[in-house]
Amino acid sequence: MEDLEKKWEELVLKLEESFEDELTLKTILFLIGVQELGQGIRAFDKEEKTYLLHIATCKLLIPFGYYKFKSIDEDGWPHFEEVKKLERLGAKSQKMLMKQAILKYFE
C-alpha cells in the first residue's frame, strides 16, 4: 500500500509538470477519458464530462476483467460491456483500485 501511494505521488507529480496545475484523481480520469475518446481537446458539456469519466473507468478496469470494449457509435464515442460485477467497495478501496488501474495505464 505504501508502494502504491509512492508510485501514485510520482505519477501525479510527473503529470502536473505537463499541465502546470494540481491534478486530482477525478481530473486524471477526465484526461484519460479525453485521450481514449480521441477527439482532441474541446469544450464538453456536463453530460459528456460524465461520460468521459465512464469511458476512463471502463478502459482502466478492462485489464482487471470488469469490462470489455464493445463498439464505437456513429459519433465516435466508445462503448463497453460489463463482464463481471464490480464488487461493492468502500470509498478507500475504490480509490485504491482506481489508482492501481491508472498506474497500470501509464506503465
> pLDDT tens across 68-81, in order?
999 999 999 999 99
What's the mean pLDDT in 82-90? 83
Question: How many Cβ atoms sit within 10 Å of the Cβ of residue 36?
Answer: 17
Bridge partners, residue 68, by sequence? 81
- Report pLDDT for 43: 94
Domain ranges of the chain: 2-106
- Report pLDDT for 41: 86
Is residue 89 a contact partner of residue 97, using CB atoms and an 8 Å limit? yes
> pLDDT tens across 29-66, in order?
999 999 999 998 899 999 999 999 999 999 999 999 99
pTM of the full predicted structure? 0.88
- Report pLDDT for 18: 87
Bridge partners, residue 67, by sequence? 82
Bridge partners, residue 81, by sequence? 68
Residue 1's pLDDT band (cuts 50, 70, 90): low
Burial of 62: CB neighbours in 10 Å, binned 0-12, 13-18, 19+: middle
